[in-house]
């Protein structure tokens, strides 16, 4: 982990949706320490500021891949950068997905919107070592078909089940319609020996966790990636505090049995 931004060059950029870009960053100096799935970097747009962004792919050659949605000043600048532009990168920061504890379990990967980005490297890791895990289920929810990420990869994730659903079926969509939890009826898993990884809007994560517990998945085996206003990434400024947790340091990945009592407190 470095507290000073390391220089990285934007090597490849790909439009995922109208307001979302995936880009590969390659180091132009010393490489940062290796990231694990679920961790994040602080990306610095020169002259504007920095934001936390999870890694969405880990090629293993020193490059980093991030998917960014243009929703604020920094993210808009990052999304507008051309190939060859430079970005400052700090990291790795935060807790990652606990894949070690999930070995031998059926896996449920449940994503809402851009929440699929932090889950993507986890899916890749599982697919490179399939014998270590049980059945992989990838459940994806989005507002519209145009908001779905990584659509060309979805067929390669179907071991044994991957599916997407949308809230509004625009553009001749012929797939599933409804909230992401409706896909649980089609997924193949044994609740008592299942680990779930969930990332998306907070209301979606709460609803998913409650439905999984209702189906028999233990609360401590449901992992959420929580989001708050992370500014320093070192646990010093306190902007990302959630009760006793500083999510930039103690998260973003938190077991649901830890997160549940905190998420039920109004305006915490």
pLDDT at 34 over 90: yes
Share of residues in the chain with pLDDT > 90 (%): 88
Average pLDDT for 206-231: 96
Average pLDDT for 179-196: 97
Contact of 88 with 50, CB cutoff 8 Å = yes
pLDDT at 210 over 80: yes
Which among 123, 137, 98 is positioned nearest to 256, based on CA atoms?
A: 98
Mean pLDDT, rounded, of the chain: 95
pLDDT interval class at 41 (50, 70, 90) = very high
Instruction: Report how far residue 227's alpha carbon sits from residue 158's, in angstroms, rounded to the nearest whole number.
Output: 28
For residue 264, what pLDDT is reported?
84
pLDDT at 211 over 90: yes
Instruction: Report how far residue 199's alpha carbon sits from residue 202's, in angstroms, rounded to the nearest whole number.
Output: 8
pLDDT interval class at 1 (50, 70, 90) = low
For residue 4, what pLDDT is reported?
86
Location of structure tokens 């808009």: 76
pLDDT at 2 over 70: no
- pTM: predicted TM-score of the whole model, two decimal places: 0.96
pLDDT at 49 over 80: yes
DSSP code string of the chain: -EEEEEEEEEEEEEEEETTEEEEEEEESSSPPPPP-TT-EEEEEETTTEEEEEEEEE--SSS-EEEEEE--SHHHHHHHHPPTT-EEEEEEEESB----GGGTTSEEEEEEEGGGHHHHHHHHHHHHHSGGGSS-EEEEEEESSGGG---GGGGGGG-SEEEEEEESS--TT--SEES-GGGGGGT----GGGEEEEEES-HHHHHHHHHHHHHTT--GGGEEEE-----SSSSS-S-TTEETTEEHHHH-BEEEHHHHHHHHTSTT-
For residue 265, what pLDDT is reported?
82
Which domains are delineated in the chain?
2-93 (2.40.30.10), 100-263 (3.40.50.80)
pLDDT at 256 over 90: yes
Least trusted range by pLDDT, from 107-116, 156-165, 200-209, 217-226: 156-165
pLDDT at 193 over 70: yes
């Amino acid at each position: 982990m470095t507290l000073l931004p390391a220089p990285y060059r934007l090597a490849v950029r790909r439009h995922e949706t109208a307001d979302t870009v995936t880009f590969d960053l390659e180091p132009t100096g010393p490489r940062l320490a290796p990231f694990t799935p679920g961790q994040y970097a602080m990306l610095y747009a020169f002259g504007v500021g920095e934001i936390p962004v999870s890694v969405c792919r880990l090629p293993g050659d020193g490059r980093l891949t991030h998917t960014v949605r243009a929703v604020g000043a920094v993210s808009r600048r990052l999304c507008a950068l051309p190939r060859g532009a430079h970005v400052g990168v700090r990291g790795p920061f935060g807790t990652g997905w606990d894949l070690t504890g999930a070995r031998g379990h059926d896996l449920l990967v449940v994503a809402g919107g851009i929440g699929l980005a932090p889950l993507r490297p986890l899916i890749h890791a599982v697919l490179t070592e399939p014998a270590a895990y049980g059945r992989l289920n990838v459940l994806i929810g989005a507002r519209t078909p145009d908001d779905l990420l990584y659509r060309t990869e979805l067929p390669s994730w179907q071991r044994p089940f991957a599916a997407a659903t949308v809230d509004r079926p625009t553009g001749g969509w012929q797939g599933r319609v409804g909230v992401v939890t409706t896909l649980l009826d089609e997924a193949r898993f044994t609740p008592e020996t299942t680990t779930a990884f969930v990332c998306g809007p907070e209301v979606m994560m709460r609803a998913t966790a409650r439905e999984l517990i209702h189906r028999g998945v233990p609360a401590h085996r449901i992992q959420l990636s929580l989001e708050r206003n992370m500014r320093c990434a070192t646990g010093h400024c306190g902007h990302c505090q959630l009760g006793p947790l500083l999510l930039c340091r103690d998260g973003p990945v938190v077991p649901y049995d830890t997160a549940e009592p905190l998420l039920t407190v109004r305006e915490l």
